[in-house]
Structure formats: structure tokens, C-alpha cells
Structure 1
């Protein structure tokens, strides 16, 4: 009886708190169902061309229930084909992949595919298998993802990635490509010259932070060919997303403008924002029009009008105020006015506009007290703003701010910072967090989302998070992980299963609120005597035991995805062992033991070279892929050189002088040997010299030398790096295991 009343209370709380946002019902697909059907069928043909005819796809909009998406699966008795029906094209595609995943044991990820589909197809007898989404929306992307992972995407890359979105039911994707062309038109019509914009737009690898007003000019000037090509690319992206029934989120005006706006508009009121991070002018200290100035809303209107004229609209626009920069005032009236100005600019051009805002700014709880947050969040009518609770798996905000004071919100898993690659996750939080938010009294939650700064790492976390969009929650994690391993490799292997269960209970069990940014990876940081990385949330032995089981499984397993994971597990194990060598080096130096220092230094540098060799054996870990993708978008040698510099700088110095050095570090072959390895070699040489000369190690001198001799030259270097793997991953992993496992 007590359980009954508890469930009744939760139901009533959820029912009463389920805010009805009638305006959000306008955020629906605008594409004819027949076009959506064809687009969904095309996704299937690209994925399984030889089996695509075994699936009948139908889009039936009335299938939706209470603003939730629905798909059904049933086998046609006469033909044996599977009938897949969804209320939109993306939902039908989601239903198709649900069948592949849970009825055929298949797997589609960023790292590869396992598509061993049974012959004939498994049968689903009538009545149809019906699945209803848990929420109205599945959101995807962080504004930083477009730079950390998508900076050099061409149409082939985007087509593959939009297919992946559709297969996983994502219906609210960010679509930020090409917005500089819109800015250029608006600002040119206002009287700005191209020279003004050349000193305003950043380079391609840093556009995410330019768009948020953190940076200007750095990595530029942005070539006109880039602006033109990205606009064309955006048309293809939007056409494909909309053909599937997705609701792409376009960009809006955030207030920052070229600095000499006061020369064109002498009466305009502007503010120079404080410097962002460790950047200095002219690359930061951007100019923003004061929200109360009429020109703010006017430019906002012109921006949306130009955007709609070029691309049409689905009525959702994203822009972020005060990203990692505090407002100039905590005054309630000022904050309310700032939000109202953004909204006014949107609705004056699109009366149905909805503002989508990342909630990252509210992580600064010292500034954003309840009154300040409420002022901004309620500056627009309820239901006309969607808030992304961006970091909800570690630092949720929906409780602190009372369901964002009634504004609809999306529970997001951020997970990754900078696109770093070490193992990390809080799978337990993801398992229970969305459900808690849904049943919270007066909850205004409308969806779940993926909001990583970078992708191509820890795919298990993203696959698990996407499964929170449908079916019961919480899930039996151990059973789900076993199923993940089976689907990923297409076979059941007891060693692999044990390995993944160990990973699940160690590296993916970060329940202490630690966020991931690669800060526990010592070798990707600039060397120093006192690197503080004692933040591991798990027992490394659990990782090493998982390594043991992966090696045992390698006797019988050899799929591409297994090889990828074998390299990845070995990489993370060597990453931990390198830290042990580092501690030995520092202890030897402090104890003035030159023999041990020399021995440990040699061992560390040798391990880095071994790691580079291992990574070079798999296509997912090649620096050359990133660099060649960047250069491929340039037409002239000047453009190729600029793009390569952008690509190299972002993953190393991240600024002219290392302002955010190593934040976007990557464990890639070529980078390990020629960048990280070169830094550590210089560091250990200087440590040994200091010990020999009986003088203290001079960190400042090292910093100067490593910048001038290794770091900065690497960003300007144009040496070629291979895009083809070399060596046998399995054999190299076994070699690394035999050599280094005894040291763990």
C-alpha cells in the first residue's frame, strides 16, 4: 500500500508539473511525410544496401502520442519484410535501428559498424511492437563540438553523421555551420568594411568561441572561400536534416560586434567585455552592444531575417549570453533586460521564435544566485526559451533553479571537455538522472541531450545515454553492458564481457563529481616538477585486469571494432604507467639519484615511442587525419597553410602563447612522438643537467625553451603525417602487454 501511494504521489507530481507548452507544438517537422519516408529509406540504403529492400518504411504523423514520438515494428506475413512506421522520418529511422540493435544484435557508432544481420530477418508478429519516446526531444551537440570535432567536416562527413543522428532518434540538432556568411551580409549592409570583419572573424578552428563572444580575430583572417563554402554546406546539412523531419537549431545574434562600431554609429552604447581565459587583446576584450540600446534588437532582427531569407526556419534559435564571462552588473533589471533584448530581436523577425540557451553560465553559482537566474530565465514568456541543463550528469541545475523557473529544459550529458580521449564516465548518474528530473515536482523537462565538447571517445557512454530516450529507466547496467559488448563485436565472448564489466565498475563509475578534461593524463601536459594528477576515481588495477581480459579475447577476436578497443584499452593502460614513470623521475631528481633519474627518463621516453607506434596501427588515432582534413578545405597554398596552422594550434597551444595549452590534447600517433615526446625528452634532459650541475631545475627556463624549441615550431611546421595505419594492432598490443603489464 505504501508503494502504491508513493507511485501515486510521483504520478500526480509529474502530471501536475508537466507544464503544457503549446508554443513548442509549433516546433514540428515541415516536410511532407512522403519526403521523410524517402529520406529514411535512403539512410537505410546507405547503411545496408544489400538488405535495404527487406524493410518497408512509412511515416504517419498521427502516430504521435501526447507530444511523444512513436514507432511500430511488425513483420509483413506475406513478404517477410519488416514494416517500420514512425510519426516522422527520423523516428522511423530510429525504429529501424532499434530493430537492428535489439532484435539483430547490430551496432553503429562513430568508431565503426557491426552489421551481421540474420538471414532471414527475425520475425515480429502482430500486434506490432510499439515504442513511445520518453520525451518530446533528443537534442545533440555542444556549441564547441563544431570546432573540436566538426571543424574540417566536408559533406561526406556530415552525411554520415546525420545518418548516425537519425538512427539514434536525434530530432533537435544544432546547425551552426556557415553563419559567418549571414553575419557578413548584415554587417556589410550596416556599413562595415571587409577589413573590419577580417579583424573580427576568427580562424576556422576557433569559430565556436568567436560566436560566443570570447574571441575575435585569433586564427584568422577567415578566407572568403571558407565563408562561401560553409554556406553551401549548411544548405545541404539543413536540407538533409529537414528531409528526415528533424528540427535544426539555427544561430541568433548574441550582441558582439566589430570594435569600430562607434565610428559608424556614434550614439551607440557599447561595453568592452573582460578578457577571456588567458587571452589578451586584440584577440579578446570583445565589443558588445548594450542590451538597452535599440541597435541591439535591430541587429538581432536583421540577423534572423537574413537567416530566414537564406535558410528558412524551424523557429528555434540558439545564442549564449555571458559564456564564461560575468555580466557587468548583477542588477535584476539589467539581467532581465538582457534576455528581453535577445528575445525581442528574435520575435521581431520570427513571431514564433524560441530561444535555445546553453545553461553553462549558471554553473557560476557565486554570481547566478536565484534572483539573478530567475531574472534572466523569466525575461521571456514561458515556453519561448529552451534551457540545456548542459552538465546534468555531474552538476545538474534543474533542482537548484526549480526546473529553471518553469522554462522547458533538456537534461544533457556533457561528459567530455576539449575532445580529450582518456576513459571516463558516470554511467550510474546517467542511468537515474533523467528519470529523477522527469518526476521532479513541477518538472518542465522536455527532452534529453548529448552535449560533449568533442566526440570520438568513450562511445559506450553516449550509446547508454541515448537509450535513456526510450524504454524503461533505470536500466540494469550490467545486463546492458553485456549486451553492448555482444552488439559491438557481434559475438559473445566471456573474456570481453568480463573486461567491459570491469571498465563499467571502474573508469565508467566516476560518482564523486569529477569532470573529465584530460587533466589526469600526465604525458599530454607540459612537463613540470609538480604536476598534480592524483585525481583518479578508480583503482588502476581494475583497468589492468580489463586489459588482461582483452588480451585473452584477442586469441579469437579480430573485428575492426575489437582492434580499435584493444588499442584504446592498451593506450589508457600505458597512460597510467607513464604517470608511474613520471613519479619515479621526480623522486629520483629530488633524492639526487642520477642513475635512477637517467634510467627512468629513458624508460618514459621509450614508452612514449612505443605508444606512438601502437596508435599508428589504427586509423582512429592518426594525427594525419586531422591535418589532411583541414588542408583539404583550402584552395590555395595560403589557405591550406592557414587551416593547418589552425588545426595544429587548437590541439596544442590553443592560442598564440599557449593561453589554453593542452586543453584539447589528443592521443594521436605523430602528436605523441613529435610533440609530447619532444617535450618530455627536453624536460628529462634538463632535469639531468640540473642534477649534474647541482643547481635547481629552472621551470621558467624550461617553459621558455620548450615553447621556442618544440611547441611553437610544431604549430608552424608543415611536415606530413600519415593517414594510413601501419603495423598489426593485435600484435603490437600483445607486444606492449608483454613488455609493460609486469610493471603495473
Structure 2
């Protein structure tokens, strides 16, 4: 009976959600246009792309078919949807042509003539969905994007077979209309919205007001972007997930409706109630369905709908009651507000709440939420499944369909990191789980643009029924495609990275960079890592050895910078340990030597290396913010939003260094001054014979941090210097020392 219930739930989901009846001709045209953008009109003409719905499996799963090519014949790409066709195209480019498409750049040297597909190749995805994004990705990575950058990302999504993704831009403009209709003033609305860099947490009810208000131009530009994003996503046959009302309202609503039943939630993220402690409507209050339906009606009137909506009522917030009856009512109220407008609504829920506060979410509480929505109408993202899957302790979400997600990255940090074996095995293991309700796989990073090997594997797994048999061989071929040529040293470097930084398991797999380099210094910093640092140093040496052959590859130069950055990160930990040991032993000279090298030599050298690559520039990050503005006042405001997010996060360092990045300019003017202050303070402590006072140091460090955030220095937005020369100098100076620690 349980298995029958699961089948019914999954069938309901497949029937009610998504654009399976879209225009096949339009989707084929969209893929052909992608081909031209990717390869240029000449090479694109060597491909024939078509979309036929009948190619899908009997259960409606996406399928592609490849044939032709060779001896002047066109390569035939057929897909059941535009996304399937794009995924088939990517498979051909990857496996037959040795090409590579990535955020840092693409390697697209096509063999001539194009290789033939020896036997017709048909591939069906094992699951309905390949999902993409985290609510936080919108703020940590997409924040300042224009349409050109969005177009690139949607192309990347299509090529990687993504068919379900958040589309949350422009929603504040819709909320503004709703709040005005409910009687709030423009001033009250402006006071409620966060600044642009913090909208993700405003949308989930964690924050309000902080770093706002939003300028009127922001709403106009985001509406324009959202229309283009949705049009392009739908043209490929993707399903955009629109936002829905989760129950959080501005405090000003209590002025208009004095009798409204609201609960003030607890504070979040070390913010006080000036910026957090959101107001949550009681599920039984008549305003709940009114507000929810007003918003969704206005939203779908503006943007149309594909019937899947995202909402998170208790993201990292403890509900006001643990009573199952309350939790069920709160959940039902959100869903009913959706179906009042869209009877076919499916609710996409981030399952992070169950993982984030397991002590609160016991079996009864989880059951209350999962049981409050009809089976098949709640689609749960098992958001951190590669590390801490929730489906295994909730009986596959008690029959509700779920997507196995890889979260991987927190805050958009740099730092080489991954749990590739867990990622490789995870979806297949979930598929075999008793009465499994798995309906898809997903990538849900808080920030993108890092550790591209991890995302390449996860995207490939969306189309594989079984795990990759040999990850060592897989990563070797990944390196060859990435650089456009096989090279023994480069491939050996990648195998070392696979067994070290990409071999995380257990508690350390939190996906957040805790390197002392990017943290406010103290005497109690953790420097342990789950791998042998010598593997990173040896990978660094091997990549540098490959430069005579591979230096012309932009992807290789990017990786050379990234691995150098990681090696310096390791060296910072080691020099810090020397500093700490010298201080505890009261040895001034070794303390000053280690501190001097770290703060005055190593970090400035790292900053120079980072400055040589366009992907590691603070100036580019801030320039994106400024270009999103329509006036100098706005440009300054947007830039300050960006600076806050990268560093203090809140006015008092509330979530200090969470979104840390290793960018040229940020290393030189933010991290290095803190380390200089730390080294000087420790030395002064020894000289004066007084204990180091962490509290006083923190106050002094905060002054440095705030000076950076409020600063107006402009940073280069174009790379400077030759990567290989700079890396070689840094390597020759520090690699010999690595073996002495």
C-alpha cells in the first residue's frame, strides 16, 4: 500500500507540474540559437537540432538521441524537450569532441571534420527533474547580473540539462504593489525591504530593513530582467519556480489592521530586532489567504506561471510552537493561498529547516509539515544531501516527492573543496532507498563560480542511472577536456586534488572555507584539514610544470591561479601556527619572523597573483554593482552593499566573513591589514609582558574592517601582470619552505 501511495504521489506531481505541452518548434529554435552563441554561425551549421515530444520515455522522462556526423554529414541532435536536446548537444561536444563548458570559460576547439556518432545513441534521464539554485544564490552570485550574464547562465543551465530552477527576480516590485493595495505607505515599504545584497534573507523572513532601501530603479530593472529570464527559460522548456507567500509580513501591516494576529519571531544571524525578528501571520487569520492570494494573483498576472512555487516559512527560524497542529496549520495556510489562485500549484520547499534544527524537528513535527499538503503537491529539496541527507530519517519524506541536492558551497567562498565520492554515490543510493520518492537531482550552492569539477560531475549525474565507475579516470578526462589536450603533469595534479581537497567526508564537509586567511585572527583558530597538505603543494608544482604546454589555455591559467591561491591558504595556516607557537613560548624573534612573512610578504604576493586573472578581482565585483546603478548616489550605495556582504555582513560584523572571497584588492586592503595588526599586537604583548587581549583586538580589527566597508577606493577591473611569471616567483620563494613545516 505504501508503494502504491508513492506511485500515486509521483504521478500527480508529473501531471500537474511543468511545461510538457510547450511549443516543440520554439524549443528547437532556442537550442539552435544557443548553438550559434556557443560555437558561432559557421560551426553551428554542422548540427541539426529538433524536438519531438514522442521521444520521451513512457513515464515522460526527458530523452535525447545523437546520430550522424563524420565525412561532412551533419550531427543530428534530437530531444524530447529543448533542455533534453541541449543536454544531448553538450554530451556530443563533451564526449565526442573533447570540449568543455564552464563558468570560468569554455574550451570549444572542434575536431574537423566533426566526429561521427558510431551507433545511434539514445539516453533518458533517470528522474523527472534536474534542479538548480539555492535561494541564497540570488544574492551571493546573481546579484548584479545584467541580461548578457543571465543569458550565459541560462545557456549553461540548458547544456547541463537543468529543467527546474528558481526565477525570483523582480518579486519586490510585485510585493510593493500588494503592500500599497493593502494600505501601507511607500515609506513603510521602503523601510521594510533590505538592500539588494541581502534580499535572499528578506525573502525568507530572516531579515528586513538592513542596508536598504531599494531605489525605484531597482524595481524597474528587475522586472525587465525577470521577463527576459522567464522567456528564455521557457523557450528551452525549463520550468521556472516562482515565489509564493510564506507568511512573513511587514510590521506596518499592524498599523493598517490593528486586530491582525501576528507573532514576532526570534532574532536571526546575530542581528537584533531592528533588522530581524520578522512578523509571522497566524495561519487562521483572515489576512493570511488574502495576502497570499493577492501576491500570487499579481505575480502570475505579470509573469504567467508554470505551477511550481517556492516558499520557506521557517528557514533557520524556530517556529513559535512545536505543536504538530500549529505546524500543520501554518503549512496548510501557505499551500491553500497558492491553490486559491492556481489549483494546479505545487509547492517547492527547501528542506534545509529539517537539517538545520534537527533538535526541534522531531518525527511528529516533520510529519505535521509533510502531511499538511496533499501527496505529490509538496516537492522537497533535500538541500544538503551529499553531507547530511534528510530522506533517510524521514522515510523518504513520508511519501512526498523529493530532489536529492548537492549544496556544496556556503557564501560563495573560494577554497578548493568537495565530497566527490559522496556526490557520485548519493543519487543512486537515494534511488534504491525503500519506497523512494526521489524525482530528481539538483545543484543548490549558495554561491557559484568555484570548484567547477564538482558541478561538472553533479550535472553529469543528472543523466546517469549509475555512479561514475572510476572517479580517477573521470577527473583525468575532465582535465584533458578542460585544457583541450592531455598532459601528464596536469592530469596527475587533478588526481592529487581528487584524493585530497575533493575527498571530504564526515563532519568537515560543511562546504564553508574556515581558513585563517579569511577569518579575523585570534589565538584559537582551527587549522586542521581533512587532507594531506603535501598533495596540494605537489599539485601546485605539477601544474606549474605543465605551463610550457598549457599556458595558452585560459582555463589552465584560471586553475593555476586557483591552486596557487589554495597553496597560499595552506601556507597562511602554517605560518599562523608558527606565530601562535612562538607567542605561547614567548619567543619574540620567531613570532616577528613568521608574522612578517605572512602579513608583509605572502599576502601581498597572493594579491598580485589574483590580480592577474579577471575572475579574482574585487574591482570587477564592485564594478558590476556600480554598473547596475542609474546615478552616482546609487552606485555608491550598491558598492557599499557589496562590500558589506563580502566582509561584515551586518553593521556590527553580525555574520563576519561568512561570504569571504579571495579577490585581489580584498586580500591587500582587508585581510592583510588585519594580519598585520594581529602580528603587531602579539609582538607588543610580548614586549610589554601583558596578555594578548582578544576583546580589544576585535575592537581594533573592527575599525579596520569598517574602514574598508565604508571606503571609496576604486580597484582595477581588468587583470594586471602575467599569471605564470607571478606564480613562478611565488612558488620558487615558498614551495621549498612548505616541506619544512
TM-score, scaled to structure 2: 0.97
Q: Aligned with 1:249: secondary structure?
A: strand
Q: CA deviation at 1:281?
A: 2.3
| Residue in structure 1 matched with residue 492 of structure 2 by the alignment | 498
Answer yes or no: is the 8 Å Cα contact 1:106–1:117 preserved in 2. Answer: yes
In 2 relative to 1, CA 685–517 (structure 1 residues): closer, same or farther, beyond 3 Å? farther
Counterpart-to-counterpart distance in 1, 2:543 and 2:632: 45
Which of 642, 649, 652 does residue 654 from structure 1 map onto? Answer: 649
Q: Secondary structure at the match of 1:555?
A: helix
State whether residues 103 and 449 of structure 2, in contact with CA within 8 Å, keep that contact through their aligned partners in structure 1: yes
The equivalent position to 1:342 in structure 2, one of 318, 334, 342, is: 334
Q: Where does residue 96 of structure 1 map in the other structure? A: 89
Residues 1:267 and 2:262 aligned together: no
Distance 1:15 1:524 in 2: 51
Contact 2:412 2:448 in 1 (8 A): yes
1:46 aligned residue (37, 41, 44) = 37
Q: Structure 1's 125 and 428: CA in aligned 2 closer, same or farther, altered over 3 A? A: closer
2:16 aligned residue: 26
2: distance between equivalents of 1:636 and 1:712?
24
Q: What does residue 540 of structure 2 align with?
A: 547
Indicate if the aligned counterparts of 2:6 and 2:400 stay in contact, CA closer than 8 A. Answer: no
Question: Would you say the 8 A contact 1:517–1:663 is kept in 2?
Answer: no
Contact kept in structure 2, 1:140 and 1:172, CA below 8 Å: yes
Partner of 1:114: 107
Determine the structure 1 residue equivalent to 2:635: 640
**CA deviation profile, 1:661-712 (whole Å, cap 9, x unmatched):** 100000000000000001111111111111111111121111111212x111
CA pair 129-480 structure 1, distance change in 2 beyond 3 A: same
Q: Shift in Å at residue 407 of structure 1?
A: 0.5
Deviation at residue 237 of structure 1 after TM alignment: 0.3
Query: CA offsets, 1:174-229, max 9 Å, x none?
Result: 10111001101111100011111111100000000000000001110111110111
Q: Which residue of 2 aligns with 1:579?
A: 573
Q: What is the match of residue 210 of structure 1?
A: 202
Unaligned runs of 5+ in 1: 1-11
Instruction: Say if 2:12 and 2:377, in contact at 8 Å, map to a contact too.
Output: no
Q: Is the 8 A contact 1:253 1:300 kept in 2?
A: yes
Give, in angstroms, the shift of residue 40 of structure 1: 0.7
Alignment of 1:218-229 (within 5 A): 218-229=210-221
Query: What is the match of residue 330 of structure 1?
Result: 322
The structural deviation recorded for 1:441 is 1.2
Correspondence for 1:244: 236
Residues 223 and 696 (structure 1 numbering): CA distance in 2 closer, same or farther, change over 3 Å? same
1:456 is matched with which residue? 449
2:666 paired with 1:671: yes
Q: Does the CA contact (< 8 Å) of 1:621 and 1:669 recur in 2?
A: yes
Task: State the SS of the aligned residue for 1:21.
Answer: helix
2:696 aligned with 1:706, yes or no? no
Question: Unaligned stretches of 5+ in structure 2?
Answer: none
Counterpart pick for 2:27 among 29, 36, 48: 36
Q: Write the deviation string for residues 210-255 of structure 1: whole angstroms up to 9, x where unpaired.
A: 0000000111011111011101110000000001110000000111
Q: What does residue 304 of structure 1 align with?
A: 296
Aligned residue number for residue 278 of structure 1: 270
Which residue matches 2:515? Answer: 521
Matches of 1:642 and 1:165 in 2, distance apart?
Answer: 31
Q: Report the RMSD for the aligned CA atoms in angstroms.
A: 1.5
Give per-residue Cα distances to partners, 1:144-201, cap 9 Å, x unaligned: 0000001111101100000000010000011011100110111110001111111110
The residue matched to 1:513 in structure 2 has which SS?
helix
Alignment of 1:435 onto 2:435: no
Q: Secondary structure at the match of 2:375?
A: coil
Q: How does 1:596-615 map to 2 (within 5 A)?
A: 596-605=590-599, 606-615=601-610
Alpha-carbon offset, residue 512 of structure 1: 2.0
Residue in structure 2 matching 1:422, options 415, 421, 427:
415
Number of positions where the alignment pairs a residue of Structure 1 with one of Structure 2: 730
1:444 Cα offset (Å): 0.5
Q: Secondary structure at the match of 1:367?
A: coil
2:388 aligns to what SS in structure 1? coil
**1:145 paired residue number:** 137
Q: Is the 8 A contact 1:13 1:442 kept in 2?
A: yes
Paired position in structure 2 for 1:594: 588
Listed one character per residue, the Cα deviations across residues 637-672 of structure 1 (whole Å, up to 9, x for unaligned) are: 211111000000000000001000100000000000
Inter-partner Cα distance in structure 2 for 1:522 and 1:77? 54
Distance 2:189 2:668 in 1: 38
1:16 Cα deviation from its structure 2 partner = 9.2
Residues 18 and 477 of structure 1, relative CA distance in 2, 3 Å threshold: farther
Deviations 1:426-476 (A, max 9, x none): 111111110011111111000000000001111101100111111341212
User: Normalising by structure 1, what TM-score?
Assistant: 0.96
Contact 2:71–2:113 at 8 Å: present in 1 too? no
